[in-house]
Structure 1
Amino acid sequence: MELKQLDDFVYVSGQINKEHVARLAEMGFGHIVCNRPDGEVEDQPGYEQIASEADKYGMSCLYVPIVSSDITATHIRTMSHALKTSKLTLIYCRSGNRSTIMWALCSVAASEPVDEVIKRARNAGFDVSKALSPFSS
């Protein structure tokens, strides 16, 4: 599990498994958001496995599965609400890219400067400039 920080409370990673949840709890994470649809690949841990393990550690978990080509306003509203927390939050998908795009869209929706959002994502190793191009001046 490779964590990359996007802002003060939000980190992103690729797919996690049940064993990672204990480590996240030890690190002080209180919230996990899964952006990966169940069943993308055969051996992928399902959301319920992660959520069940998170519950053992008192962590909240949210399932907001997305496909990059089909992100809706409902996805953005749901994610925006999930990211409004003072708990350390991990968002994840297969590689972290979709989750970073969702974080970026939520940040722009919250009126954060597009250039700053692109810069923070780039510092974490992700290029969201194409996804945010409609918002750039």
Structure 2
Amino acid sequence: MQTKKLDDAITVAYQIAVEDVQAIRDQGFTVLMCNRPDGEDPGQPLWEDVKSAAEAVGLKTAFLPVSSREDAIAMKEPFQAAMEAADGPVFAYCRTGTRCEILWTLANS
């Protein structure tokens, strides 16, 4: 799993598999955030499946899907709220991690 730490509060990554959730929890993350809409690619795990796995291991979850510039702008405040509510480090993913990084940049500008 390729990751990029943006700061002490958030790390972003490429699309994860349901099987990655336990390892994410084991690394000390407390929130799992998805910034990718369901159905972009065949075989992409559904958010509900990832969310169920995350909640089963005690992770909080946030689903803030972004597929356009307008979506990113609209998700700025929900992203900020999710980050402020986090009680530890956040692990966010999308297809390549770029949308997660865009949201983080918008939230910090």
Fold-level similarity (TM above 0.5): yes
Distance 2:21 2:40 in 1: 21
Q: Which 5+ residue runs of structure 1 have no aligned equivalent?
A: 109-137
Aligned equivalent of 1:64 = 64
SS in 2 for 1:77: helix
Distance 2:13 2:21 in 1: 12
Matched, 1:96 2:103: no
Aligned length: 108
CA-CA distance at 1:67 after TM superposition: 1.3
Normalized per residue, the structure richer in helix is 1
- The two structures, once aligned, show a CA RMSD in angstroms of 1.2
Distance 2:87 2:53 in 1: 21
Distance 1:18 1:101 in 2: 24
8 Å CA contact 2:72–2:103 kept in 1: the answer is: no
Q: Which 5+ residue runs of structure 2 have no aligned equivalent?
A: none
Normalized against structure 2, the TM-score is what? 0.93
Aligned ranges 1:1-137 → 2 under 5 Å: 1-71=1-71, 73-84=73-84, 85-108=86-109
CA-CA distance at 1:72 after TM superposition: 5.2
8 Å CA contact 2:73–2:106 kept in 1: the answer is: no
Higher relative contact order (CA 8 A, sep 6+): 2
CA-CA distance at 1:16 after TM superposition: 0.6
Identical-pair percentage: 33
Highest CA radius of gyration, 1 or 2? 1
